[in-house]
Amino acid sequence: MDLQWSEHDLAFRDEVRAFLDDKLTDDLRAAGRLQTSVYSDHEAAMRWQAILHERGWAAPAWPVRHGGCDWSLTQHYIFSRESILAGAPYLSPMGIRMVAFAIMRFGIDEQKRYFLPRILTGEVFFCQGYSEPEAGSDLASLSMAAVDDGDDLVLTGSKIWTTHAAEANWMFALVRTSRGERKQQGITFLLLDFTSPGIEIHPLVMSSGEEIQCTIFFDGVRVPKANVLGTIDDGWTVAKYLLEFERGGAAHAPALQVEAAHIAGVAAQQPGPDGGRLIDDPAFAAKLADARMRTEVLEILEYRTLATVAAGGHPGPSASMLKVLGTELSQQLTELALEAAGPIGRVYQPHAARPGGPIAHFTPPTDGYVSGEPWQAVAPLRYLNDRAGSIYAGSNEIQRNILAKAALGL
């Protein structure tokens, strides 16, 4: 693997930088730098997606025939890193990075023609309907019923922890269409129009105060069988394929490297426990060095996975490894950021941030006062949100079981 950038790559880097300098407004940069989780302010993210789509860069990892970019692995990395350095808000991954690949792999031509262009423009905005009150990491235990009724499936039940359900107009969902000898049998993968009658959405208030996730109730919701992705009762095959992209289909190391560098910079200005600088405290410095070294290892592992995807493959078991490493490193870094924020990091002031959803039960000060720097206000919110990182997309304990079986043969 050649890790040296060529003259062509450097020219591409300069092209990306010029584009970002020209198109990223101050408001968009603020939305990126002050976001409190992996989900950006929704309106800012959609504005940025429209700008990227106009340039042809909204979904660079897609095949070119569907609107992607014919980029090398290095160019994908450069684009990701430069976007993070410039403070660009993250795009929602549900459509572009997740269900789109399942549609390309399992969808019929009519589904591809309808959904893929609209995902790119943002006209179709997906949320994910997987988890249920009794089916989280053990997803195959799901029970939401989808009863066959002629040309339709009729849905009754609920989904929970559904991110951005209040903003979405479509959902991709797993439903129970039959029971088999194995619980993975009888599951169907659906594309569900949120304008369908019988859907009720209730926001959930997270520990950070944000309303990003929701509970959704379905009462006799009719979904045409034409919206089944793959075949009825074989949705588990589609779900497994998609989960590989959710867990390991993107590079997280650039964002973690930028965050680690930021922590090092602010720690050089913050007081430490002995009266000196925090960065000179041996305990803090050792923890930060450990995180930075592990992030460099993650970067190399992500190179390998991205190379597989770029060659037309899919992540496979390595997705589980990347999910474990990426989320646990992110948690480690948010802990260090909170430590660096000091006592100011204990103050709840979400009005200084750009959360991914509304803030419940909070009235900001009339003068907008914020104690300390904005990053100190963001640090506790990121810390709280990142606690879920080792749970979502299948808990890290589940991922270790997958690796034990698939990679080690245990």
Distance of CA 4 to the CA centre of its chain: 29
Q: For residue 385, which of 39, 4, 48, 10 has the smallest C-alpha distance?
A: 39
Give the C-alpha separation, 171 to 221, whole Å: 13
Backbone angles phi, psi at 381, to 5 degrees: -70, -40
Give the 3-state secondary structure of residue 114. helix
Q: Which stretches within 72-221 are classed as H helix?
A: 73-86, 93, 100-106, 109-121
pLDDT in tens, 368-393: 999 999 999 999 999 999 998 888 87
* Ramachandran class of 164: left when φ > 0, alpha when ψ lies in -120 to 50, beta otherwise: left
Q: What CATH number is given for 250-314+316-406 in this structure?
A: 1.20.140.10
pLDDT at 148 over 90: yes
Give the C-alpha separation, 86 to 104, whole Å: 31
Tokens at 330, concatenated = 């992110």
pLDDT in tens, 53-79: 999 999 998 999 999 999 987 888 889
pLDDT in tens, 269-315: 999 888 889 999 999 999 999 999 999 999 888 878 767 766 767 66
Q: Using the 8-state DSSP alphabet, how is residue 94 labeled?
A: I
Give the C-alpha separation, 221 to 225, whole Å: 12
How many angstroms separate the Cα of 157 from the Cα of each of 16, 134, 205? Answer: 46, 11, 21
Give the C-alpha separation, 15 to 389, whole Å: 33
Residue 194 CB neighbours (<10 A): 18
Residues 301 and 322 sit within 8 Å (Cβ to Cβ): yes
Buried b (16+ CB within 10 A) or exposed e, 370-387: bebeebbbbbbbbbbbbe
* CB under 8 A, 24+ apart: contacts of 384-387: 384/206, 384/207, 384/208, 385/36, 385/37, 385/38, 385/206, 385/208, 385/210, 386/37, 386/327, 386/330, 386/331, 386/334, 387/207, 387/331
pLDDT at 3 over 60: no
Q: Using the 8-state DSSP alphabet, how is residue 25 labeled?
A: -
pLDDT at 95 over 60: yes
Number of helices followed by number of strands (H, E) in the chain: 13, 7
pLDDT at 156 over 60: yes
Residues 353 and 36 sit within 8 Å (Cβ to Cβ): yes
Q: For residue 37, which of 305, 353, 396 has the smallest C-alpha distance?
A: 353
Q: For residue 36, which of 364, 389, 367 has the smallest C-alpha distance?
A: 389
Tokens at 257, concatenated = 């490297």
For the chain, the domains span 7-91, 126-236, 250-314+316-406
pLDDT in tens, 10-48: 999 999 999 999 999 999 999 999 999 888 999 999 999
Give the C-alpha separation, 49 to 128, whole Å: 19
Residue type, 315: P
User: Which pLDDT score is estimated for 309?
Assistant: 66
**∠ CA(316), CA(177), CA(396), 5° rounding?**
35
User: Which pLDDT score is estimated for 393?
Assistant: 73
Domain 126-236 top-level CATH class: mainly beta
What is the enclosing helix (H) or strand (E) of 13?
helix 7-23
